[in-house]
Amino acid sequence: MTVLAEIKARIARAAEAENRPAESVKLLAVSKVQPRDRVAAALEQGHRIYGENRVQEAQGRWEPFRKAYADIDLHLIGPLQTNKVKPALDLFNTIHTLDRDRLARKLADEIQARGVAPDLLVQVNIGQEAQKAGIDPAKADVFIAACRNEYDLPVIGVMAIPPFDEPPEPHFKALADIAYRNGLDEISMGMSADFESAIAHGATMIRVGSAIFGARDPSGAV
Ligand SMILES: *Cc1c(COP(=O)(O)O)cnc(C)c1O
């Protein structure tokens, strides 16, 4: 069994343990910083959903791959600067990191000009860490409502990266609560070390990098 097939089998088991179909969990293969040949191998094995965290790095890599594979589903999971909104909209099907008014306004203007929109998730700084991106959990409901009603943005879910040095479960639960009380279907949480637990707490999109592709080269790590 390939590594990718093993991860998919683990996802299916974790989902079935919650009486959910395996297809209710979308696996984003996080390809940031990984060598091109590892990503090409995953594409050859049929995987089509990928996560990247830098717009420019993703452009260089995915524009050529898209010529070979028309059905690639690309997700931005890293911070988005307002001056990168245009290239981000050119490239990504889904953006997981909507977290502030200025970005919401810029996205709304650009989406209106184009008449097409990516799916959007609101990133929540679920552990309230000073260095981390994301809207404060206490402000999440108001921000989600503003994104939908003021900016008319297609928000489909929430995303978070729990603190690295704490058990993730309370944070998974808190993020899922925000999704449920705002009527949002998609919950993006869980990485290589904890995706099964994230699925147990309701994750619908998991972001798995090193468990699929191997450790990232620290010299290029982000
Ligand atoms: C890098 C990254 C991941 C994947 O991390 P792994 O531990 O390699 O699975 C998931 N989410 C985000 C936002 C990331 O930046």
Q: Tell me, what's the pLDDT at 218?
A: 64
Q: What is the DSSP letter of 6?
A: H
| Beta carbons within 8 Å of 157's beta carbon, 6+ residues apart | 121, 122, 179, 184, 185, 186, 187, 188, 204, 205
Which amino acid residue places its CA nearest to atom 5 of ligand 1? 209
The verdict on residue 142 lying in a domain is yes
Cα 164 to ligand 1 centre (Å): 11
In this predicted structure, the answer to whether residue 221 has a pLDDT above a threshold of 60 is no
Phi, psi (degrees; rounded to nearest 5) at 206: -115, 150
Cα 49 to ligand 1 centre (Å): 14
Domain hosting 208: range is 3-213
The verdict on residue 221 lying in a domain is no
Cα 115 to ligand 1 centre (Å): 31
In this predicted structure, the answer to whether residue 201 has a pLDDT above a threshold of 80 is yes
CATH of the domain at 83: 3.20.20.10
Residue type, 192: S
**Per-residue pLDDT tens digits for 123-169:** 999 999 999 999 999 999 999 999 999 999 999 999 999 999 999 99
Number of structural domains, the chain?
A: 1
- State the virtual CA torsion across 203, 209, 214, 218 in degrees, nearest 10: -130
The verdict on residue 195 lying in a domain is yes
DSSP code per residue over 81-143: -GGGHHHHHHH-SEEEEE-SHHHHHHHHHHHHHHT---EEEEEB-TT--TTS-SB-GGGHHHH
The verdict on residue 123 lying in a domain is yes
Average pLDDT, the chain: 96
The verdict on residue 107 lying in a domain is yes
Question: What is the CA 221 to chain-centroid distance, rounded?
Answer: 18
Counting atoms of ligand 1 from 1, which one is nearest the CA of 213?
A: 8
> Cα(81)–Cα(169) distance, rounded to whole angstroms?
30
Whole-structure pTM value: 0.96
The verdict on residue 219 lying in a domain is no
The verdict on residue 69 lying in a domain is yes
Cα 90 to ligand 1 centre (Å): 23
Q: Cα–Cα distances in Å, from 133 out to 82, 172, 216?
A: 14, 17, 22
The verdict on residue 220 lying in a domain is no
Counting atoms of ligand 1 from 1, which one is nearest the CA of 193?
A: 7
**Per-residue pLDDT tens digits for 106-120:** 999 999 999 999 999
